[in-house]
Amino acid sequence: MRADFKVVLDACVLANYGVANLLLLLAEKPRLYLPVWSEKILAETLRTQVGKFGWPQEIADSFQRQLRNEFPESLVQGYEHILSECKNDPKDRHVLACAIHCKSETILTFNLKDFPAPTLTPWGIAAVHPQDYMLLLFELEPLHVMHQLGAVAQKRSMTLDEHLIDLGRFLPVFASRLIEELET
């Protein structure tokens, strides 16, 4: 499967380098989905990486440049007129408006509570935990997902099991499922 399904990546997902790295590798051509975001999501990502996670400013800036260079088609603009129609958590209305505007059916976020289903259903949008989306991608394209995981592990000088254990801090069910798969 190679697709252009638009998926909005919330700042909390982009700011988590281990999760974002894998998701972005799976979005490179031939991609499994098309990641989308807004300037506001990117600004929130930068603030989180520097302010909460303690990234050096130059590394966070480099991450931003790479996102913009590698995925120029991912930037969504012109959604602001929809904000007043969004009824989810006020601090994340811009994320929903971005999804509505670009006709995405999925928002990947660790903050599911900020996107209650009744506020998304009228728009045909679902908020999905990155773990659940990764499990779906694995079911659809197991070899591609395993290949990308292996490439990341090799780049980090780790075994695939070690990389999955590390990734399991944020995606425990996904990591456990893949470790089980490797053991069979």
* Residue 176 belongs to domain spanning: 134-183
Taking only the tens place, the pLDDT of each residue in 95-137 is 999 999 999 999 999 999 999 999 999 999 999 999 999 999 9
Query: Own/partner pairs for 66-72, CB < 8 Å, 24+ apart?
Result: 67/14, 67/24, 67/37, 67/42, 70/24, 70/28, 71/24, 71/27, 71/35
Asked whether residue 1 carries a pLDDT value surpassing 60, the answer given is no
Does residue 138 share a domain with residue 116?
A: no
H helix runs in 90-171, sequence order: 93-102, 117-120, 130-140, 142-155, 160-167
- The total of structural domains in the chain comes to 2
Does residue 40 share a domain with residue 24?
A: yes
Residue 1 covered by a domain: no
Residue 105 covered by a domain: yes
Q: How many CA atoms lie within 13 A of 9 on its CB side?
A: 28
DSSP state of 79: -
Asked whether residue 3 carries a pLDDT value surpassing 90, the answer given is no
Taking only the tens place, the pLDDT of each residue in 138-179 is 999 999 999 999 999 999 999 999 999 999 999 999 999 999
Q: Token pair of 23, please?
A: 């998701």
Task: Name the one residue in this structure whose structure tokens are 């996107």.
Answer: 115
Does residue 143 share a domain with residue 125?
A: no
Does residue 162 share a domain with residue 109?
A: no
Identify the domain boundary among 85, 105, 130.
130
- Tell me the β-bridge partners of 38: 76
